[in-house]
Amino acid sequence: MTSSTQVAPGVTAAGGLSAADGQIPGVSPLQDSGARVKRYTALAVMLVPLAGFALAVRQLVLGEFAVTDLVLFAVFYFLHMGGITMGFHRYLAHKTFRTSKWFEGLLLICGSMAAQGPIMFWVTTHRRHHLYSDQKGDPHSPNLAGTGLFAKLRGLWYAHMPWMLAPDTSGWTFFAPDVLRDRRLFFYHRTYAWWIVLGLVLPAAIGGVASGSWHGAWNGLLFGGFARIFLANQAAWCVGSVCHMFGGRPFKTDDNSANNWPVAVLTFGEGLQNNHHAFPASYRHSVKWYEPDLSAWVLWTLGKGGVVWDLRSPEPAAIRKLAKQPH
């Protein structure tokens, strides 16, 4: 592994550690203060939405909710997941399509509202995952803890959430030099916290205005804000844990990625991990027309309307080459 490794289509790692340093290329340990900040931030992302979700469940059990609250949850879930899958993932991390500045901004704002980390963290972590998928260096593989049942369960749990507590960092110049040097993209990185706040204030404001009450604003915050973040992120984190352990593997890859349909439905196609790892530069994770990939359907529709363009997808010959069974 060298610093010239390609980490995304048209993106070559610009620096990072060499293998001779005894470190994983592109990955470096955090000092005490940096490790604490990362740990406390990750714990807040895990626990604060959980508390809000618990309060939303209480409202449901007591019947203290309205249809508006459920609509807010659904709308902001769509924006949340769409921003991550189409914006952070398929647009930024893999460069599978192009779009205008205004739609780029919309995608990145919605992705930031998901509270999965700022752009540089998300992109570098994801490109690192692809470079070292299910090997030493993968930030969230469930397959590195051993072979026994308890080792597998421990690995599955680690890959779901505790990996975010690890005291290391993915190198910006190694994994995302393209994002780092783009001032427009870096603006969304710097303003990340503001977009999280917006993702909480908006549903609260809409709920308050729709009901004409503080109770409606409170429920909007709970359902469209915290419960949405909790449930959508639990689904998203299943992609790195469940979908690298359970599911179908129609394509030959160098890792344990799998297609898991329930996760794919909840994550707008992200659960089709085996397809994605076979063809990471494709805007669609679905290969068959019937595979659940809402993000691909949305992007295809937007492509017909000229909102996005240069949608990349694998050639039939490439699909046949990697398929375990004839396609």
**pLDDT by residue (tens digit) across 147-195?**
899 999 999 999 999 999 999 999 999 999 999 999 999 999 999 999 9
Query: Of 321, 80, 93, nearest to 203 (Cα)?
Result: 80
pLDDT at residue 18 in the model: 44
pLDDT at residue 9 in the model: 77
pLDDT tens track for 100-142: 999 999 999 999 999 999 999 999 999 999 999 999 999 999 9
User: What distance in Å separates the CA atoms of residue 228 and residue 231, rounded to the nearest whole number?
Assistant: 5
Quick count: other Cβ atoms within 10 Å of Cβ 157? 14
The token pair at 110 is 């919605």
Q: Tell me, what amino acid is at 102?
A: W
pLDDT at residue 8 in the model: 78
Q: pLDDT under 50 in the chain at which residues?
A: 1-3, 16-20
pLDDT at residue 11 in the model: 73
pLDDT at residue 22 in the model: 59
pLDDT at residue 13 in the model: 63
User: What distance in Å separates the CA atoms of residue 264 and residue 35, rounded to the nearest whole number?
Assistant: 32
pTM: 0.94
Which residues have CB under 8 Å from 87's CB, separation 6+?
Answer: 104, 107, 108, 110, 111
